[in-house]
Structure 1
């Protein structure tokens, strides 16, 4: 049985003689309808700006703009939860059009002058995307702040840094954490670049190449609070590269948090015991009463993996021909839900870092393993005796191997014995006045790191001190953009109310001559 065509179904007076098929509704229209929450408010703002612009260019009948804006302002008061969306009509725009027709009659037809449904949707999407990028930026900045705070507080906590999860060299845990703060801050300029793409107005673009109505694209952009107008209407309406940038930023920021979470899960395991995840970020086992599972870390890592998959899906979508609906059918929901997920994951990562508990003694114990100072010992042998570094490397390597095999610690005597085997020279270290015990002290090793950006406590504090002003500038930009959004929206609504108050609303269905 052919389903009844719903009232207001677009195209029924032309080439659409039946439909929509229930399978099309479930597989396609319901997908588009799922974007209604995200697009609802932006579609309202797009309608207001379009009618105001048409009125300013004297493209509407005398009383049409006040009457239309009165109805649109009333319609804007209906929440997305209470709005009469009908999934059979397709996307949110079509349901909005049908409701405006119900309220304003034929007068509603003027809203579509010189504008496609797609243009309104693109406007609403970019408005939403801008806000979501700012939300993500806030989360990234807060995560960077939290990591920087912990890095500064751990500037004097000595530990053995790890490569391949093997003890490498004495360092400070503050230096380790600061590396993640640096990476997090670098995501903010990338985010601002993605925001710049979203801040370009599609208004007045028509379907592809513009419209014969000669709409004021710059004026529309100003009304909507966009910073720029796209140079090419087809590009502005159909390009996807900015969406890849936006999702890439979300993925990169989340990967930073995920890599830290990966490390912390290892560091918190009994085999390492270097840190402890706060109880509020752990979950108990239903079966095993002794378990204290670091569930928050799993959430962050799984979320990052999911976002990598979504980015891959978006990149695959971008391989379709240009100007195609399949470029965009899943894009609205995938991109915005991904940004929202990344924002939640960064907030969780920030909370984990803020309440992370360090075991200073366990960290220091690993640093005191004499093998971690092996590189410094080889450096010191070269500096004091004049032998080349590769020879010093072989001396220390033999001494370490003997120490591990015999259980004897490294000493001047044991290293001299290794030097005699490697070089044939006796008392090499004694003659060069190499103090092995002093070189093996991890705190002393850390204090020798005088290069900018090194792991010494003073350098870590200096690094954080230079990082904070940079981070503050990004936070000020985020706040300024958010305030600009609010001001632009307030000005748009005020302009709509001013036009609505200009004259009595026209009766639904009435016609007037277009002003010239």
Structure 2
């Protein structure tokens, strides 16, 4: 008989548990260990009073979330300490009981910090584990910590506390990434390069202007993060399972103790609300897509065909077969992780879309997506900052990639400045391109006598157009690639960072 074919007798007659004989069946021993583990598990449960028998071991494992929600151990203890104080204010605990509970919770915290906390078979989640250990330390008074509280509002506040701290951490990584881009833009303003549309050379721009084109989406991501933080910073604790708290808990005071701006308005909504998780997953997905686009540009620019940049060895890898290869793995991983994060968003949205009111166990999926996204995004931002900070830009290669046909629009602007309507000027500029191709010569080599045949507005001063510095400097308006505009962008972005704060 295979072990996999055995079923656990949930309510059957007792099996012989005396294993002193060396002839005891392995099947009986397996049943014994499973039954004993089930008994211990039932004792530790917060909800087992109305149940008869034990939970199927497969269901036990399927139901448990301790393997990943233990990440919130600190927040769970933080919420319990604040709730103990709220129970004291509501005259549901004596001062001695409250102090004992807080002292016990502090002991639990020390065990987690020291890495000595022992998770037991019945610890299906972090709330069960911490309360079980609290009771072991302080005795039966530990059971009072859950008065009027449900795991429904407990997990919601734990997640918000955890995410609130994460948002502060991730914002510092994003700020650092923006600063890296700004530092390069400040120091490399003189480098000119082609700007592209449809991956075709379009118009000359500054390298610094291209860098700044990736600064502003990140700045907007920080702005969006500020709004997200405000919505996360609302306390659901004190909502109970769904109907509220019957013990006159001062929820506003409880929220303040935990550093929240306010308490939630509706208990039904509070225990089922995961909009803040969805919003974070969306925010992370959008940010990762911005980083992915930057990665794509740099992957192209690092190829031999472009040669604009060279990645530092610390952010590249080689080939197991071709010794000459230097692969932009850091950037490719950033690009790939963007798909993973967007997948987490879509997956959890599908969990949320059809749920009935209040808490449903489907919501246990929230932490898997939240924690993975948070971990991946922190790594992506740090790798991206390091890659950009350490790469070398080849100013000569960028310059060599400029070609005079990229000045075609400038020819049209030249004619516009002499009074010709733009549509006509655009057509005339196209004729100049055709002339250059037919004569197999560059724009700057075109005879003035031939240009005059296209339009009498062409005079000797057309020679000033055949200049890439002149081209970029004509874009003086805000947001342009002229030096003045680039300097203004850097100043404004740095001012934003100086004034940025979540809390």
Contact preservation (8 Å) 2:149, 2:239: yes
1:58 maps to which residue? 91
CA displacement 1:276-315 (0-9 Å, x = unmatched): 1112111011111000111110111111111111111121
CA displacement 1:34-83 (0-9 Å, x = unmatched): 23332111111111111111112211256422332232222221116322
Cα deviation, residue 428, structure 1: 2.6
Matches within 5 A, 1:30-179: 32-61=65-94, 63-79=96-112, 81-179=115-213
> What is the aligned length?
466
CA displacement 1:401-424 (0-9 Å, x = unmatched): 3433552222575576477xxxxx
- For residue 340 of structure 2, the aligned residue among 288, 306, 313 is 306
Answer yes or no: is 1:428 the counterpart of 2:455. Answer: yes
1:286 maps to which residue? 320
Distance 1:392 1:13 in 2: 82
Aligned to 2:189, the other structure's residue is in SS state coil
Please say which of residues 257-266 and 444-453 is displaced more in the overlay.
444-453
- For residue 389 of structure 1, the aligned residue among 395, 414, 422 is 422
2:496 maps to which residue? 470
**More contact order relative to length (CA 8 Å, sep ≥ 6):** 1
Contact preservation (8 Å) 1:195, 1:246: no
- For residue 225 of structure 1, the aligned residue among 241, 253, 259 is 259
Contact preservation (8 Å) 1:130, 1:195: yes
Q: TM-score, normalised by structure 2?
A: 0.88
Answer yes or no: is 1:269 the counterpart of 2:296. Answer: no
Aligned to 1:451, the other structure's residue is in SS state coil
2:52 maps to which residue? 17
Give the aligned CA root-mean-square deviation in angstroms.
2.1
Cα deviation, residue 328, structure 1: 1.6
2:240 maps to which residue? 206
Answer yes or no: is 1:251 the counterpart of 2:285. Answer: yes
Distance 1:456 1:466 in 2: 16
Distance 1:272 1:58 in 2: 73
Cα deviation, residue 271, structure 1: 0.9
Distance 2:420 2:363 in 1: 66
1:167–1:11 CA distance, 2 compared to 1 (3 A): closer
Answer yes or no: is 1:437 the counterpart of 2:463. Answer: yes
Answer yes or no: is 1:404 the counterpart of 2:430. Answer: no
Answer yes or no: is 1:366 the counterpart of 2:393. Answer: no
2:481 maps to which residue? 455
Contact preservation (8 Å) 1:140, 1:346: yes
Cα deviation, residue 104, structure 1: 2.6
1:509 maps to which residue? none
CA displacement 1:325-352 (0-9 Å, x = unmatched): 2442110131132122112101111111
Matches within 5 A, 1:500-511: none
Distance 2:121 2:433 in 1: 72
1:362–1:412 CA distance, 2 compared to 1 (3 A): closer
Aligned to 2:165, the other structure's residue is in SS state helix
The unaligned stretches of length 5 or more in structure 2 are 1-7, 10-33
Matches within 5 A, 1:324-363: 324-363=359-398
Contact preservation (8 Å) 2:97, 2:141: yes
Contact preservation (8 Å) 2:79, 2:258: yes
Contact preservation (8 Å) 2:272, 2:360: no
Cα deviation, residue 13, structure 1: 5.8
Cα deviation, residue 89, structure 1: 3.5
Contact preservation (8 Å) 1:122, 1:202: yes
